[in-house]
Amino acid sequence: MIRIVRLSVLIALGSSPLVAQNPRQADGVRTAVREWRVRHEPAILRELSALLAIPNLASDSVSIRRNADTLVAMLTRRGIGARRLEAPGSPPAVYGELRVPGATRTIVMYAHYDGQPVDPARWATPPWAPTLRDAPLERNGRIIPLPDRGGELDDDARLYARSSSDDKAPIVAMLSAIDALRAARIPLSVNLKFFLEGEEEAGSDHLEAMLRQHAGLLSSDGWIFGDGPVHQSRRPQIVFGVRGVMGADLTVYGPARALHSGHYGNWAPNPSVLLAHLLASMRDTEGRITIAGFLDEVRAAGTLERAAIARAPAVDTLLRRELALGDIEGDSVPLLERIMLPALNVRGLDGGPVGGRAANVIPTQATASIDFRLVPNQTPARVRELVEAHVRRQGYHIVHREPTLEERARHARVARIQWEQGYPGIRTDMDAPLSRAVTRVLSIATNGQVVAIPMLGGSLPMYLFAEILNAPLVIVPIVNHDNNQHAADENLRIGNLREGIELYAQLFARLGTEWR
Instruction: Judge whether residue 17 has pLDDT over 50.
Output: no
Helix or strand or coil: residue 144?
Answer: strand
Backbone angles phi, psi at 307, to 5 degrees: -65, -40
- The Cβ-side half-sphere exposure at 232, using a 13 Å CA radius, reads 17
Instruction: Judge whether residue 18 has pLDDT over 50.
Output: no
How far apart are alpha carbons 90 and 168 in whole angstroms?
Answer: 20
Helix or strand or coil: residue 399?
Answer: strand
Q: Which residue has the higher pLDDT, 171 or 150?
A: 171
- Residue 259, amino acid: L
Strands (E), 116-197: 131-133, 143-144, 158-160, 191-197
Instruction: Judge whether residue 106 has pLDDT over 70.
Output: yes
- pLDDT value, residue 10: 43
For 268-313, the DSSP string reads: SPPHHHHHHHHHHHHB-TTS-B-STTTTTTPPPP-HHHHHHHHHSP
Instruction: Judge whether residue 7 has pLDDT over 70.
Output: no
- pLDDT value, residue 6: 44
Helix or strand or coil: residue 259?
Answer: strand
Angle CA(69)–CA(171)–CA(204) in degrees, nearest 5? 70
State the chain's mean pLDDT as an integer: 93
Angle (deg, nearest 10), helices 61-77 and 23-52:
140
Pair 254, 269: CB distance under 8 Å: yes
Give the mean model confidence (pLDDT) for residues 240-262: 96
The residues, ordered by sequence, that sit 6+ positions from 69 with a Cβ below 8 Å of its Cβ are 84
Report which of 482, 486, 459 is spatially closest to residue 318, judged by C-alpha positions. Answer: 482
Secondary structure tally for the chain: helices H, strands E:
16, 21
| 414-425: b (≥16 Cβ within 10 Å) or e | bbbbebbebbbb
Pair 135, 141: CB distance under 8 Å: yes
pLDDT band for 22, please (50, 70, 90 cuts).
low
CB atoms within 10 A of CB 131: 22
How far apart are alpha carbons 115 and 94 in whole angstroms?
Answer: 15
From 153-162, 200-209, 496-505, the region with the lowest mean pLDDT: 200-209
Q: Percentage of the chain with pLDDT > 70?
A: 96
Residues constituting the chain = 516
Sign of CA dihedral 253, 256, 257, 259: negative
The residues, ordered by sequence, that sit 6+ positions from 305 with a Cβ below 8 Å of its Cβ are 340, 427, 430, 454, 455
Report which of 501, 438, 446 is spatially closest to residue 475, judged by C-alpha positions. Answer: 438
pLDDT band for 9, please (50, 70, 90 cuts).
very low
CB atoms within 10 A of CB 93: 28
- Give the β-pairing of 106-112 and 222-225: parallel
How far apart are alpha carbons 130 and 164 in whole angstroms?
Answer: 8
Instruction: Judge whether residue 4 has pLDDT over 70.
Output: no
78: buried, middle or exposed (CB in 10 Å: 19+, 13-18, 0-12)?
A: middle
CB atoms within 10 A of CB 127: 26
Angle CA(338)–CA(340)–CA(342) in degrees, nearest 5? 80
pLDDT band for 151, please (50, 70, 90 cuts).
confident
- pLDDT value, residue 381: 96
Q: Which residue has the higher pLDDT, 364 or 422?
A: 364
Distance set, CA 218 to CA 76, 104, 418, 468, 508 (Å): 18, 16, 34, 10, 18
- pLDDT value, residue 403: 98
- pLDDT value, residue 16: 33
Helix or strand or coil: residue 95?
Answer: strand
- The Cβ-side half-sphere exposure at 396, using a 13 Å CA radius, reads 27
Pair 41, 150: CB distance under 8 Å: yes
Give the mean model confidence (pLDDT) for residues 84-96: 94
The residues, ordered by sequence, that sit 6+ positions from 21 with a Cβ below 8 Å of its Cβ are none
For residue 167, is the peptide bond before it cis, meaning its omega torsion is within 30 degrees of 0?
A: yes
Pair 61, 88: CB distance under 8 Å: no
Report which of 471, 485, 375 is spatially closest to residue 109, judged by C-alpha positions. Answer: 471
How far apart are alpha carbons 424 and 311 in whole angstroms?
Answer: 27
Instruction: Judge whether residue 5 has pLDDT over 50.
Output: no
